[in-house]
Amino acid sequence: MKENEAGLVLPTLPTVSVIIPTYNRKDLLSETLDSLAQQTYPSDRFEVILVDDGSTDGTDAIAAEAFPFILRYFWQSNQGDAAARNLGAQRSQAEFLVFLDDDILVEVGYLTHLIQAHDIGQNKIVIGTENLWLSESTPFAQSVYASQTLDHARTLVELPFRDVFSNNMSLRREAYFKIGMMQGLDFPGSSMWCDLDFNYRAYRQGFEFFRSTNAICLHRDYTVRSFDVYKKRVRTAAYRAVVLFQRYPELLAHVPMFYDKTPIIWRQDSLYLIGRKLARHLASTRPALWSMEQIVKTLEKRYPTSKRLLSLYRYIIGGYIYQGYREGLRKFGQVGSE
């Protein structure tokens, strides 16, 4: 507790560690740190823990720069973002952990609103409101932005655990270890699914999930700048998801993106679902996807604002999810009763 100028005793704000895993993104990281330097949250109540996952672009030089907050730099050999977050949490002594990716910019009140959202209740995981930062406007990027539906009528919105991502996440430090920290899937680079794995374990322990609509951040997501890059990413994510679902077969039912991508279970699936799966199989063949992609290229060039583009993007993305997931099944084996 401390006193203000009028002599009134004020509650002491909790301490916060902002943990940023990074890999070869020095320029983006510098801008993320600059945005943290503008926070309304007192700079003596939060620190930034930077975990360098084996960068080779001179990221370590940032550790010598001056910021209004304490910056602590740690280097590890390239082990992935899950291991980097765990290292940051282990080196922290703060009451709260805020995980932030190195391609996120935060508005000035971000930390204040995020920590305020934890005032009531212990078992909470809170994210901010993530908006897409469009430096280069493409029809696909615009469609992703347009498809986001956010409820700004309330300051705190409850979410299903599957909709909470670790690029912008907060919780009490003790809760992080209670849940069991992040666990990767033993793939190189980004684990992609470590947040869903973490959230599912938290969900089973009774944690609740929320979005603060006042804690605003901007995501400089390079994958949405190119439809081709995005397609490859979702295919890789679906391929790796097989390993996650082998770990938790029951989790598959909580992730709608795989609803019609899994093999038919003849004595269990409804006729409707069987029809959906057969249709998805046909729509995900290489000739079908190639045909739809040619239509997309034509529409992007001649009619970039066409509403048909959004539907085509979704069908094509679904096709690449299907292909990646089926490739994963062939590589790693079946999931549960599939």
Q: What pLDDT shows up at residue 189?
A: 73
Based on the fold, state whether residues 20 and 165 are members of the same structural domain. yes
Share of the chain above pLDDT 90, in %: 78
Q: What pLDDT shows up at residue 9?
A: 43
Based on the fold, state whether residues 190 and 143 are members of the same structural domain. yes
120 part of a folded domain: yes
Please, where are the H alpha helices in 163-226?
173-179, 194-204
164's CB contacts (< 8 A; 6+ apart) are 125, 127, 195, 199, 209, 211
**Residue where the block lists tokens 């093999």:** 263
161 part of a folded domain: yes
Query: Residue 11 carries which DSSP code?
Result: P
Query: Residue 51 carries which DSSP code?
Result: E
| Boundary residue ending a domain (190, 225, 260) | 225
Higher pLDDT among residues 1 and 207, named by residue: 207
pTM of the predicted model as reported, rounded to 2 decimal places: 0.91
113 part of a folded domain: yes
326 part of a folded domain: yes
293 part of a folded domain: yes
Positive/negative CA dihedral, 152, 233, 322, 328: negative
Based on the fold, state whether residues 288 and 213 are members of the same structural domain. no
Distance CA 49, CA 293 (A): 43
Based on the fold, state whether residues 218 and 249 are members of the same structural domain. no
Instruction: Fill in the amino acid letter for 3.
Output: E
| 188 closest CA partner among 28, 285, 53, 304 | 53
Q: 172-185 pLDDT, tens per residue?
A: 999 999 999 999 89
Based on the fold, state whether residues 13 and 91 are members of the same structural domain. yes
Q: What pLDDT shows up at residue 280?
A: 96
pLDDT for residue 8 is more than 70 = no
> How many domains does the chain divide into?
2
| Boundary residue ending a domain (161, 192, 225) | 225
Q: How many other C-beta atoms can be found within 10 angstroms of the C-beta atom of residue 253?
A: 11
Based on the fold, state whether residues 23 and 172 are members of the same structural domain. yes
Based on the fold, state whether residues 265 and 187 are members of the same structural domain. no
Q: What pLDDT shows up at residue 140?
A: 81
Based on the fold, state whether residues 94 and 12 are members of the same structural domain. yes
Q: Roughly how many angstroms between the first and final C-alpha of the chain, as a whole number?
A: 57
235 part of a folded domain: no
In sequence order, what DSSP letters do the residues of 247-305 get, joined into one string?
H-GGGGGG-GGGTTTSPP-TTTS-HHHHHHHHHHHHHTSHHHHHHHHHHHHHHHHH-TT
CA distances from residue 50 to 30, 38, 102, 128, 193 in whole angstroms, order as listed: 11, 18, 9, 20, 21
Distance CA 136, CA 242 (A): 33
164 part of a folded domain: yes
Angle at 284 between CA 145 and CA 321, to 5 degrees: 50
234 part of a folded domain: no
In sequence order, what DSSP letters do the residues of 74-115 get, joined into one string?
EE--S--HHHHHHHHHHH--SSEEEEE-TTEEE-TTHHHHHH
Based on the fold, state whether residues 61 and 134 are members of the same structural domain. yes
Q: 197-222 pLDDT, tens per residue?
A: 999 999 999 999 999 999 999 999 88
Based on the fold, state whether residues 11 and 71 are members of the same structural domain. yes
| Boundary residue ending a domain (225, 253, 272) | 225
Query: The CATH number of the domain where 97 resides is what?
Result: 3.90.550.10
Q: Which domain holds residue 144?
A: 2-225
Based on the fold, state whether residues 158 and 19 are members of the same structural domain. yes
Based on the fold, state whether residues 88 and 115 are members of the same structural domain. yes
Positive/negative CA dihedral, 130, 94, 16, 60: negative
Q: How confident is the model at residue 143 (pLDDT cuts 50, 70, 90)?
A: confident
